[in-house]
Amino acid sequence: MKNCMPRLFTLFAALTIGAAACAFAQAAERTEVYKKVGDVELNLHIFEPEGHQASDARPAIVFFFGGGWVGGTPTQFFPQCEYLASRGVVAISAEYRIRSKHGTSPAECVADGKSAIRWVRSHAKQLGVDPARIAAGGGSAGGHVAAATGTLSKFDEPSEDAAVSSRPDALVLFNPVFDNGPDGYGHDRVQAYWRDISPLHNISDKSPPTIVFLGDKDKLIPVATASEYKARMEKAGVRCDVWIY
């Protein structure tokens, strides 16, 4: 995956232009249930390139919507999915449990994110994707979920096959929640376990290459936090590009 990162990052950078052109994206070509929790079924909304076949081995990306771990819907990333599918990527927008519907905490959000990546990887042949080229993306709290899948060692579902990695091969993050520490976002909701769930505090040489998009007027995610994330990633020997607007 690292050998194709410059090309991949260029493609994802084009999201800022291409997705705008697809602002009224259509529904996904297909949906798949990736996880069941009691009576709750969580779906993946899958956008496929034209003419895509299960025998293909295309790159894939799984997006997680924003909403403070409280609200939001997977339709947020349908435009990005439609655009990337037009460029040859199997693009997926994932459902995950949120507090307003399921009474859950950020821990369950992360667990669902990891389950989604693991499901895509374990069903790579069925989906026609390369299991070694699966990225995760997201915005705000969804950016936290995506970053968590790439950095955290905890929050995997005990019932799932740990032999199948839940860690993506790259991260594409929009105004992501990186820091859940005492001065970070959402600390009051994860106070008892913030060191385990904060991506900023769990970076290692196993973290995937990352590209970050952030506005300099963002009132929730300071530019300084993104800069610190980049510095820690590079100290660990991992590429991290930060685009500030």
CB 211 within 8 A of CB 241: yes
pLDDT at 144: 99
What are the pLDDT digits (tens) for 166-204?
A: 999 999 999 999 999 999 999 999 999 999 999 999 999
pLDDT at 24: 55
Whole-Å CA distances, 12 to 18, 88, 196: 9, 12, 29
Q: E strand or H helix at 114, and its extent?
A: helix 106-122
pLDDT at 17: 46
Residue 43: is its pLDDT beyond 60? yes
Task: Assign 21 a pLDDT band (cuts: 50, 70, 90).
Answer: very low
Q: Going from the N-terminus, what domains does the chain have, and what CATH number goes with each?
A: 2-244 (3.40.50.1820)
| Phi then psi dihedrals of residue 53, to 5 deg | -130, 155
Average confidence score pLDDT of the chain:
93
Residue 107: is its pLDDT beyond 90? yes
pLDDT at 10: 59
Residue 150: is its pLDDT beyond 70? yes
Residue 22: is its pLDDT beyond 70? no
Give percent above pLDDT 90 in the chain: 88
Residue 231: is its pLDDT beyond 60? yes
Distance of CA 143 to the CA centre of its chain: 6
Residue carrying structure tokens 């994802």: 12
Within 8 A by CB and 6+ apart from 155, the residues are 107, 110, 111, 114, 148, 196, 197
**For residues 71-84, average pLDDT:** 97
Residue 8: is its pLDDT beyond 90? no
Give percent above pLDDT 70 in the chain: 89
pLDDT at 28: 77
What are the pLDDT digits (tens) for 126-136?
A: 999 999 999 99
pLDDT at 105: 98
